[in-house]
Amino acid sequence: MGERKTERAREIAALQLGLDLGITLIDTAEMYGDGGAEEVVGAAIKGRRGQSFVVSKVSPHNASLRGTIAACERSLARLGVEQIDLYLLHWRGSHPLADTVRAFEQLQASAKIRDWGVSNFDTRDMDELAAIQGGGQCASNQVLYNLAERGIEWDLLPWCRERRMPVMAYCPIDQGGRTLRSAALKQVAERHGATTAQIALTWLVRQQGVIAIPKAVSEAHIRANRAALDLVLTPADLADLDRIFPPPTGKMPLGMA
């Protein structure tokens, strides 16, 4: 979102429809649309701040002590809010994690962010973060996770669950679309009168401590995503999905998109 002015009204309407349907978490970042996405989010939540939970991210090249604070202030201005609910480091860069954490702490102390977290951090990264002074206050880790990309189930997801740290799953419906073309997945979807995308979302949000953040701009897509929350998968469905998309049997590299 925020890349083309001709799409601005439609994008704002899409986010507001999500709020109307009770989908309150909106994920964005300073790098999306070079700040344009944050401006779209700001327009969508104007007058509805109490209905929204806003997540944004600082880019790695800005994640020094001073750079993180300056980036957050720019994001606040584009969003038109006084506080970001959850502020993430988008992925690891060259700046020391300790400096980024110190910046997050200062932003919390000044009430410019409520909580902070990370994105695209694997288990080793999380161990390193936890060893830093203040690193234990990390509130969330946002990573690639969907039916076709289950590698985090081996060690990262258990690590986060043990610490009661929510995992935010981006690309929850598999960007490439190969998941949705699975004939076996279509059979599961047919049993529920649903789409394969809805089954993929339902499977994900039933996971303990997992939040899905699917992208959607069209009204039909947004309503379909919301309807997925009302589906209930049976033990037979889950067994079929494990057979089609088996869980990991060992450590796998963290996927990124």
The reply to whether the predicted model has a pTM over 0.85 is: yes
Each residue of 88-112: pLDDT tens digit? 999 999 999 999 999 999 999 999 9
Annotated active-site residue 87? The verdict is: no
Distances (CA, A) of 72 to 22, 53, 63, 112, 205: 27, 16, 10, 8, 29
For residue 182, what pLDDT is reported?
Answer: 86
Phi then psi for 127, rounded to 5 degrees? -65, -45
Task: List, for the chain, all residue ranges whose pLDDT scores fall below the cut of 70.
Answer: 175-177
Neighbours of 178 (CB within 10 A): 9
Residue among 210, 125, 226, 215 nearest 168 (CA): 210
What pLDDT score was predicted for residue 37?
A: 97
How much is the pLDDT for 174?
A: 79
- Give dist(CA 125, CA 250) in Å, integer: 18
User: So what's the pLDDT on residue 175?
Assistant: 62
- Tell me the domain boundaries of the chain: 5-244
Q: Give the active site residue among 32, 87, 145, 170.
A: 32
pLDDT at residue 179 in the model: 79
Contacts of 216 (CB under 8 A, 6+ apart): 14, 18, 222, 225
> pLDDT tens digits for 185-213?
999 999 999 999 999 999 999 999 999 99
CA dist., res. 100 & res. 211, Å (int) = 24
CATH of domain 5-244: 3.20.20.100
Instruction: Work out the burial of residue 172: count CB atoms within 10 Å of its CB; fewer than 13 is exposed, 13-18 middle, 19 or more buried.
Output: buried
Which residue spans within 92-140 are E strands per DSSP? 113-119
State residue 176's pLDDT score: 63
